[in-house]
Structure 1
Amino acid sequence: MIENSNSIDDKKYNKLIVALSILIPVVVAILFGVKIPNVEPLTFLPPIYASINGVTALVLILAVFQIKKGNRVAHERLMKFAIILSVLFLVMYVAYHMTSDSTKFGAEGAIKYIYYFILLTHILLSIIVIPFVLITYVRGITNNIEKHKKIAKITFPLWLYVAVTGVVVYIMISPYYI
């Protein structure tokens, strides 16, 4: 059986996708535990990276509207922008946690359980979405449109959930920042 060029193009990216899907969460977990001594805490970052999550959510929605209108160029630009925003978020998030102590959620009762549910699903899905985003992106740039559409239907809601819950988590914990 002869493979089509789309399958070959997809496969040449597979090792990179697997490596990044493992490397990113591992590096973040390691850096999360590193504290840089004698550095001013970057306490101004949480509202910025929460806003980046909000903008990411809007960009993802706009990208879907653009592709539904048939505007592939705008869709592609918006998706690249969403990836850049996600990387910026991650860099700021890690920088904040390397210079500042984690903030404890101070509320009690049912809201505490709601917060931790949202936080836990946000964290888990932010790890799970990495290979989905990368595979979806590769299928788009290699012009493997049918496979791109198929996985994008899974990637979009996962990524949107991560972006939106990032804002929700910030709003819920922001009263407890020192």
Structure 2
Amino acid sequence: MRALIGFLPWIVYAVIATGDQWRYGAITGLAIAVVLVLWDRRSGRAWDEIVIETSAAVFFALITAISFIWPHTELVKYGPALVNVWLAGTAWGSLAIGRPFTLGIAKTMAPPEVHALPVFYRVNAVITAVWAAFFTIAAVALTVVLALDPHATAMVIAIKALTFVLPTLFTVRYPKIVEARHS
């Protein structure tokens, strides 16, 4: 459940940032992300445990700046897609540097004796790749839908829900499947 709190800035932004409200969504997302990062760091969480929260703080700082510099940019229309482009970049980037973003979170939930096992790393690399793939799929689907109909709210919500729920379910089930195979 704690890991899902890291997505709170993104969720709040998605709710608030509709049409002309994108600036307020960005500011709110930034505020929540900064509070989460500060809270987590004060609680002793390592940086690798809060990759999504840190990524959110950077993203929302950029989007907030853009919302003031270019308040009428066409990017507003693609806000939901931009979120997924950023999250895909975060996930793919974490894999590229050999530090899957789920690894730090998983270390807080798994016993220390498994942290150094190759299978522990592989499980997290697979989970991160699944998230990266779904973020990428969502980015492409949302870009196409929003280009065709910027007011296709029901379709946007459906895409966002599916591309969040499905990797969440995979994240919960996959480690259990691997553990059962290795028992």
Q: TM-score over 0.5 for the alignment?
A: no
Q: Tell which structure's C-alpha radius of gyration is larger.
A: 1
TM normalised by structure 1 equals 0.36
Higher RCO (CA < 8 A, seq sep 6+): 1
TM normalised by structure 2 equals 0.35
